[in-house]
């Protein structure tokens, strides 16, 4: 029914228009963004936990490392991080592979502006299909997002660990728990309730940070909204239209608002769950309500 | 046992390399995908346009396997240089400034004319606000003329700026503007004279890729010689276009 778009009108036209291959790419990009969030959130949390644990370590070099990670990454603008760090990371991987795979390569790796490793060391290989390149770009994106948001999460968790009442730790030690036991059995279970407000803030920022993906060659929904919404002249498409960016961005607005709402509901449920039995005002209120 | 594992790994590695060589060379073609008729994304979501057809033909003649990649115009040169793709085929004019950073093939589109488009005949394109795409020869030209330059990341936004009154006129390649003016039904019109800019459009390559550049130069030569390049130009830009 969509073979001759000029002759159809109204809803049929719209249905055909919204199911072109190009629009499918946009829906696909929506999936990419959701997948990115689903993978990045836990890994950033892991980076954050690692960073915070390192920053309060009793071993000095580890503590310096954790503190340096938190303060340096938090201080560098995201966009600079995405433009510089990712290219450097990519080149570091390729340089390593180059050393292993092409030991008798006699040309320079850096020739003026050009970065040249042997073809076998390219990551992904130049011969790989496009989807491998895209997947690789996606994983670079996950790694970069995790490192950046991990630094912020580390700061939040670091603060949350210090917010756990000292009496709790002292009591644990008085019961004869070792340092490790105190950390895992008393400190970690109790700190989440202090960390959650900060972490939920980070989650909201992360949701909206995905257009940075385009800097890495991953086409996200904002790119597609701009591309699809732009004026289309009849020579180059079967579905010519004027400047429809407003409608596409409106759709994005609705999507992001709904996503935010769902996040809030889920986060408040988690908060209730975490507060249960805690020595906080919230926990006390829950106990009284139940009694 | 360790030796065995190591040698198997080595075989796996070398056989992978051999496979890559027997496969012929894959060239990744980087384009913008937002500049019709040169290059754009068609309804099916694929790269299409003059340069798609030209590039596929050039690859066939040079016996290369080609893969199309889109990239933002802003970062199209840095990503070439760092090796994310091997060529830029995105309506890029050959200029001395760009030639310092990357290499160009010979031109496959004769030196282009750029033009002003505005809403009214009397628009002040010499002293008013003129929109152009960032990092183009047009933007450089406006910056040196008396007009105030208003830059946008995509060509489409430069036109939108004229429509909504943010800019008095837009300055871009004539061939990009022509279909838009035609489709606007009298809303947009050409103003002033056309301005010849740049040294023709060529493919951009890394400076260290002389071999690949020679292959493409030879293929462009053969297309110029048998008239197929002229046929392609006429197909995408109309009969009035400058040919070889």
Closest CA to A142 of A32, A3, A59: A32
Residue B91 · residue B39 · CB < 8 Å:
yes
- C-alpha span between B91 and B113 (Å, rounded): 13
Q: Is A230 in contact with B156 (Cβ distance < 8 A)?
A: yes
Q: Is B81 in contact with A239 (Cβ distance < 8 A)?
A: no
Please tell me whether residue A67 adopts helix, strand or coil conformation. Answer: helix
B-chain residues within 8 Å CB-CB of A234?
183
Judge whether B49 is closer than 8 Å to chain A, CB to CB: yes
Residue-range domain boundaries for chain A: 13-290
Q: How far does B79 lie from chain A, in Å, by closest CA? A: 9
Give pLDDT tens digits for B161-195: 999 999 999 999 998 999 999 888 889 999 988 99
Share of chain A above pLDDT 90, in %: 44
Q: Is A112 in contact with B83 (Cβ distance < 8 A)?
A: no
- C-alpha span between B197 and B174 (Å, rounded): 11
Interface test with A, best of B41, B154, B166 (most A CBs within 10 A): B41
Q: Is A115 in contact with B83 (Cβ distance < 8 A)?
A: yes
B-chain residues within 8 Å CB-CB of A20?
43-45
Q: What is the pTM of this model?
A: 0.79
Give pLDDT tens digits for A4-26: 777 888 888 888 888 888 899 88
Phi first, then psi: give them for residue B12, nearest 5 degrees.
Answer: -60, -40
Q: Which of A83, A215, A239 sits opposite B43 (nearest CB)?
A: A239
Instruction: Taking residues A240-245, report their average pLDDT.
Output: 86
Two tokens, residue B45? 């979501």
Share of chain B above pLDDT 70, in %: 90
Return the CATH fold of B2-110+200-237: D-Maltodextrin-Binding Protein; domain 2 (3.40.190)
Judge whether B224 is closer than 8 Å to chain A, CB to CB: no
DSSP string, A95-151: HHHHHHH-TT--S-SEETTEE---GGG-SS-TTS-HHHHHHHHHHHHHHHHHHHHHH
Phi-psi category of residue B135: left, alpha or beta, with phi > 0 → left and psi -120 to 50 → alpha: left
Q: Which of B17, B81, B163 sits opposite A243 (nearest CB)?
A: B163
B-chain residues within 8 Å CB-CB of A91?
82
Quickly state the pLDDT bin for A196 (edges 50, 70, 90). very high
Q: Is A130 in contact with B84 (Cβ distance < 8 A)?
A: no
Q: Is B101 in contact with A126 (Cβ distance < 8 A)?
A: no
Q: Is A231 in contact with B159 (Cβ distance < 8 A)?
A: yes
Residue A163 · residue A244 · CB < 8 Å:
no
Q: Is A243 in contact with B160 (Cβ distance < 8 A)?
A: yes
Give pLDDT tens digits for A163-185: 999 999 999 999 999 999 999 99
Q: Is A22 in contact with B28 (Cβ distance < 8 A)?
A: no
Q: Is A236 in contact with B49 (Cβ distance < 8 A)?
A: yes
Judge whether B84 is closer than 8 Å to chain A, CB to CB: yes
Residues near A160 by beta carbon (within 8 Å), at least 6 away in sequence: A191, A192, A194, A195, A198
Q: How far does A123 lie from chain B, in Å, by closest CA? A: 9
Residue-range domain boundaries for chain B: 2-110+200-237, 112-197
Judge whether A77 is closer than 8 Å to chain B, CB to CB: no
Please give the interface size between A and B, counted as residue pairs whose CB atoms are below 8 Å apart: 111
Least CA distance to B82: which residue of chain A?
A: A115
The rounded mean pLDDT for chain A is: 88
State the CB neighbour count (10 A cutoff) for residue A143.
16
B-chain residues within 8 Å CB-CB of A133?
69
Least CA distance to B176: which residue of chain A?
A: A233
Same fold for the pair B2-110+200-237 and B112-197: yes
Instruction: Taking residues B52-71, report their average pLDDT.
Output: 92
User: Residue B24 has what pLDDT?
Assistant: 57
User: Residue A150 has what pLDDT?
Assistant: 95
Judge whether B79 is closer than 8 Å to chain A, CB to CB: yes
At the second CATH level, the architecture of B112-197 is 3-Layer(aba) Sandwich (3.40)
Q: How far does B19 lie from chain A, in Å, by closest CA? A: 10
Q: Which of B16, B44, B183 sits opposite A22 (nearest CB)?
A: B44
Judge whether B185 is closer than 8 Å to chain A, CB to CB: no
A-chain residues within 8 Å CB-CB of B48?
236
pLDDT for A117 beyond 50: yes
Quickly state the pLDDT bin for B218 (edges 50, 70, 90). very high
A-chain residues within 8 Å CB-CB of B183?
233-235, 240
Give pLDDT tens digits for A40-57: 999 999 999 999 999 999
Long-range contacts of A278-283 (CB under 8 A, 24+ apart): A278/A190, A278/A193, A279/A165, A279/A168, A279/A190, A280/A193, A282/A193, A283/A193
Residues near B147 by beta carbon (within 8 Å), at least 6 away in sequence: B125, B126, B127, B128, B129, B130
Give pLDDT tens digits for A63-93: 999 999 999 999 988 888 887 787 788 888 8
- C-alpha span between A72 and A65 (Å, rounded): 10
Region A13-290: CATH code: 1.10.3720.10
Instruction: Tell me whether the omega of the peptide bond preceding residue A279 falls within 30 degrees of 0, making it cis.
Output: no
The rounded mean pLDDT for chain B is: 86
Q: How far does B58 lie from chain A, in Å, by closest CA? A: 18
Residue B125 · residue B171 · CB < 8 Å:
yes
């Amino acid at each position: 029914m969509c073979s001759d778009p000029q002759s159809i009108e109204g809803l049929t036209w719209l249905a055909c228009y919204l199911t072109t291959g190009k629009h499918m790419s946009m829906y696909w990009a929506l999936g990419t963004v959701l997948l990115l969030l689903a993978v990045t959130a836990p890994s950033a949390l892991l980076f954050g936990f690692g960073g915070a644990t390192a920053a309060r370590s009793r071993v000095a070099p580890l503590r310096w490392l954790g503190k340096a990670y938190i303060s340096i990454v938090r201080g560098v603008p995201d966009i600079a991080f995405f433009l510089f760090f990712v290219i450097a990371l990519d080149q570091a991987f390729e340089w390593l592979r180059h050393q292993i795979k092409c030991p008798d390569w006699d040309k320079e790796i850096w020739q003026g502006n050009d970065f040249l490793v042997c073809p076998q060391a390219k990551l992904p290989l130049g011969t790989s299909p496009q989807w491998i390149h895209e997947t690789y770009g996606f994983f670079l994106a996950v790694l970069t997002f995790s490192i950046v948001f991990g630094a912020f999460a580390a700061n939040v968790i670091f603060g949350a660990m210090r917010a756990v009442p000292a009496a709790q730790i002292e009591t644990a030690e008085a019961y004869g728990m070792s340092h490790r036991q105190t950390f895992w059995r008393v400190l970690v279970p109790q700190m989440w309730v202090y960390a959650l407000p900060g972490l939920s803030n980070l989650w909201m920022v992360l949701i909206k940070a995905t257009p940075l993906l385009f800097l890495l060659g991953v086409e996200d929904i904002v790119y597609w909204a701009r591309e699809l919404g732009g004026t289309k002249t009849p020579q180059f498409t079967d579905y010519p239209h004027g400047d429809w960016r407003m409608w596409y961005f409106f759709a994005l607005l609705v999507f992001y608002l709904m996503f935010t709402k769902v996040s809030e509901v889920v986060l408040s449920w988690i908060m209730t769950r975490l507060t249960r039995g805690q020595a906080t005002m919230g926990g006390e209120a829950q106990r009284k309500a139940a009694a | 046992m360790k030796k065995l594992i190591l040698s198997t790994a080595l075989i796996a590695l070398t056989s992978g390399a051999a496979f890559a060589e027997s496969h012929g060379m894959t060239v990744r073609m980087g384009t913008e995908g937002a500049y019709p008729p040169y290059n754009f994304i068609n309804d099916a979501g694929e790269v299409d346009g003059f340069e798609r057809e030209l590039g596929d033909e050039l690859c066939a003649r040079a016996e290369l396997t080609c893969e199309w990649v889109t990239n933002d115009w802003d970062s199209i040169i840095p990503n070439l240089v760092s090796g994310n793709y091997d060529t830029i085929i995105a309506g890029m004019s050959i200029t001395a400034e760009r030639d310092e950073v990357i290499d160009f093939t010979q031109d496959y589109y004769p030196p282009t004319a750029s033009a002003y488009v505005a809403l009214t005949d009397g628009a002040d394109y010499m002293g008013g606000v003129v929109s152009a795409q960032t990092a183009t020869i047009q933007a450089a030209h406006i910056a040196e003329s008396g007009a105030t330059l208003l830059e946008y990341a995509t060509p489409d936004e430069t036109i939108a700026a004229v429509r909504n009154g943010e800019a008095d006129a837009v300055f871009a390649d004539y061939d990009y503007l022509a279909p838009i003016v035609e489709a606007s039904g009298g809303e947009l019109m050409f103003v002033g004279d056309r301005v010849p800019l740049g040294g023709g459009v060529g493919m951009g390559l890394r400076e260290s890729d002389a071999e690949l550049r020679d292959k493409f130069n030879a293929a462009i030569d053969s297309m110029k010689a048998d008239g197929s390049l002229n046929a392609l130009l006429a197909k995408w830009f109309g009969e009035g276009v400058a040919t070889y």
